[in-house]
């Protein structure tokens, strides 16, 4: 039996590659995402209804201030996650990628559970395999990289064990 999520992905995935979505998605979606997150106390992310989603908590590269970014992620086994800095196929890298390069120790919240992670940039030799994994989850997602004209930064987020007993 086909799951509702699979049907929704099949319908929505092509829409996310349109000019209209790329123009208005970055403007509308973050506000809607924040509203739903506040409304549910962080237990529900709008994007999480279709794909695995998390909130990445970074430290600003220049400001040193805490920054949050809701993101789609791809599970990578052993609790690890892969995130892609597609920025809706924009010409510039999203700020959260610059933050991770400057401060790779960060945190994520998944289903209202917060955990510390260490981010590492995916090596060039792994990029094709990682993109293939991502596209099994969201077909055509690498098109954002092609359309942006830049090499999208891919990160692996590795959980860090808490020091507390």
Task: List the CATH number of the domain containing 127.
Answer: 2.30.110.10
Judge whether 165 lies within some domain: no
Judge whether 31 lies within some domain: yes
Judge whether 33 lies within some domain: yes
Based on the structure, what is the number of domains in the chain? Answer: 1
- Please check whether residue 47 is in contact with residue 85, taking contact to mean a CB–CB distance below 8 angstroms: no
Judge whether 21 lies within some domain: yes
Judge whether 73 lies within some domain: yes
- Please check whether residue 8 is in contact with residue 46, taking contact to mean a CB–CB distance below 8 angstroms: no
- Mean pLDDT for back-to-back runs of 10 residues, the chain (165 residues): 62 70 72 75 64 91 95 91 92 96 96 92 97 89 91 97 60
| Residue 53: domain span | 4-159
| Residue 42: per-residue pLDDT | 66
The pair of structure tokens assigned to 58 is: 């970074």
The phi-psi region of residue 151 (left if phi > 0; otherwise alpha if psi is between -120 and 50; otherwise beta) is beta
């Amino acid at each position: 039996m086909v799951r509702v999520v699979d049907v929704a992905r099949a319908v929505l995935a092509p829409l996310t590659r349109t000019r209209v979505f790329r123009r208005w998605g970055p403007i509308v979606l973050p506000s809607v995402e924040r509203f739903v997150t506040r409304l549910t106390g962080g237990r529900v992310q709008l994007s999480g209804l279709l794909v695995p989603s998390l909130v990445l908590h970074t430290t600003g590269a220049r400001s040193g201030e805490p920054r949050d970014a809701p993101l789609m992620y791809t599970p990578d086994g052993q609790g690890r996650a892969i995130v892609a800095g597609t920025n809706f196929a924009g010409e510039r890298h999203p700020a959260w990628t610059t933050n991770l390069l400057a401060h790779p120790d960060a945190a994520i919240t998944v289903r209202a559970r917060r955990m510390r992670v260490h981010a590492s940039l995916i090596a060039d030799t792994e990029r094709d395999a990682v993109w293939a994994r991502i596209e099994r989850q969201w077909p055509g997602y690498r098109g954002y990289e092609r359309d942006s004209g830049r090499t999208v930064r891919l990160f692996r987020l590795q959980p860090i064990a808490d020091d507390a007993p």
